[in-house]
């Protein structure tokens, strides 16, 4: 267990109800990394036969990996993103559908030939990580504690094959708005050179390997003043897929449409929740192929994701032409944002049973 012994040692977990995260400026959190106190680590070795026998909290810090680990050499890794909010007027914190993240990790692990924690193990580990880092959960209305579960092939492997050992790890960081625009509408550009995923590939699972390949397009877009990139499908170069870090929706005449997840698009938990909430509110919701022409013709466009929440899009530039969309009050996207975040933050009754108290 050499890897384990190289972890930053746990002195003790401070379970005091400290309310403050030190000198942190809660009003300007953004999505930068503020290191917190503890992370959760659990390993699966060959003798564990695909199970994760025991996990523990340890001090947040660097980890040691073999230079030949599966994750470093062959990107055998997955991640998740989740948020814990402070509960208004009550002690404790709220998670949003954490068992969905656990199941998505299990599904991705199957695709990437990795063992995965059980749903109970995953959710308990998330809760422990929140409690151990409770002083970093932002005050109500200032943001959330972002949880980043990772699953990686940590064992050494030289020839291309599944790694002999796996590590599940969760770290946490307080976050505010994802985009530099804050809650203001964002400006996207459609990239018709680069694609995010292809049929038969891994676009539909949250593997780490889906994210670095978008950096070039994203950097290029940012250098031209756009917020981010909207990708089209790699076969027809015509149908919307997703934005670098989130799913996309279009609204036309009260009909809400989002690309169906058929293997190339990440099945977002916010996406799925927004689909359900929109239907509950009487909108017709279509999960189907959404073409670039549908987008150009839309009244509204918005993006969803754990980090992004539900971000309105004011412009999309495609082949050099800028298309504008409705944003602001009285939009469907604003209505769905408020409905969703009220549940997530514990401000509205959760009739769906989506929130989990910590």
Smallest distance from ligand COI to CB 144, Å: 11
**Cβ distance to ligand COI smaller for residue 144 or 163:** 144
The token pair at 191 is 């990239």
Smallest distance from ligand COI to CB 195, Å: 17
- E-strand ranges in 72-114 read 77-79, 82-86, 93-96
**Cβ distance to ligand COI smaller for residue 189 or 246:** 246
Smallest distance from ligand COI to CB 258, Å: 16
**Cβ distance to ligand COI smaller for residue 258 or 306:** 306
**Cβ distance to ligand COI smaller for residue 290 or 308:** 308
Catalytic sites, residue numbers: 206
Smallest distance from ligand COI to CB 282, Å: 27
**Cβ distance to ligand COI smaller for residue 32 or 254:** 32
The token pair at 279 is 């239907």
Smallest distance from ligand COI to CB 119, Å: 19
Looking up tokens 């003790």 gives 12
Beta carbons of 310 and 178 less than 8 angstroms apart: no
Which residue's C-beta sits nearest to ligand COI?
81
Residues 6+ apart with CB under 8 A from 19: 135
Return phi, psi of residue 333, to 5°. Answer: -65, -40
Report how far apart, in Å, the C-alpha atoms of 348 and of each of 82, 88, 247 are: 19, 10, 24
Residues 6+ apart with CB under 8 A from 334: 312, 327, 328
Q: Which of 90, 37, 121 is nearest to 357 (CA)?
A: 90
Q: Which residues bind ligand COI (CB under 6 A)?
A: 81, 211, 245, 305-308
Residues 6+ apart with CB under 8 A from 177: 29, 30, 31, 143, 183
**Cβ distance to ligand COI smaller for residue 210 or 327:** 210
Beta carbons of 237 and 192 less than 8 angstroms apart: yes
The token pair at 156 is 């050494």
The token pair at 71 is 């994750």
Beta carbons of 3 and 64 less than 8 angstroms apart: yes
Smallest distance from ligand COI to CB 302, Å: 14
């Amino acid at each position: 267990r050499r890897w384990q012994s190289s972890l930053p040692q746990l002195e003790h977990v401070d379970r005091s109800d400290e309310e403050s995260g030190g000198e942190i400026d809660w009003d300007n959190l953004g999505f930068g990394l503020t290191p917190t106190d503890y992370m959760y680590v659990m390993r699966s070795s060959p003798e564990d036969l695909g199970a994760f026998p025991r996990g523990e909290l340890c001090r947040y810090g660097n980890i040691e990996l073999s230079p030949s680990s599966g994750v470093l050499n062959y990107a055998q890794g997955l991640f998740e993103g989740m948020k814990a909010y402070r509960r208004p007027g009550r002690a404790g914190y709220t998670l949003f559908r954490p068992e969905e993240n656990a199941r998505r990790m299990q599904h991705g692990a199957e695709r990437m030939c990795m063992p995965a924690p059980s749903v109970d193990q995953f959710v308990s580990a998330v809760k422990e990580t929140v409690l151990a880092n409770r002083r970093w959960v932002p005050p109500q209305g200032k943001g959330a504690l972002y949880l980043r579960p990772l699953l990686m092939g940590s064992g050494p492997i030289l020839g291309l094959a599944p790694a002999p050992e796996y590590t599940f790890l969760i770290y946490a960081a307080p976050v505010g708005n994802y985009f530099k625009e804050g809650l203001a509408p964002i400006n996207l550009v459609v990239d018709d050179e680069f694609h995010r995923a292809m049929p038969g590939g891994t676009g539909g699972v949250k593997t780490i390997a889906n994210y670095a390949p978008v950096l070039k397009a994203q950097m290029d877009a940012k250098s031209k003043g756009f917020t981010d990139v909207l990708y089209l499908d790699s076969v027809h170069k015509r149908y919307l897929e997703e934005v670098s870090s989130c799913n996309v929706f279009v609204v036309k005449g009260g009909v809400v449409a989002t690309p169906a997840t058929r293997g190339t698009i990440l099945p977002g938990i916010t996406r799925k929740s927004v689909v359900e909430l929109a239907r509950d509110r009487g909108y017709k919701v279509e999960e189907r192929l959404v073409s670039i022409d549908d987008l150009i013709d839309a009244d509204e466009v918005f993006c969803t994701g754990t980090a992004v929440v539900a971000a309105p899009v004011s412009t999309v530039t495609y082949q050099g032409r800028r298309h504008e969309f409705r944003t602001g009050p009285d939009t469907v996207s604003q209505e769905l944002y408020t409905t969703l975040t009220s549940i997530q933050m514990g401000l509205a009754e959760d009739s769906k049973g989506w929130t989990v108290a910590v």
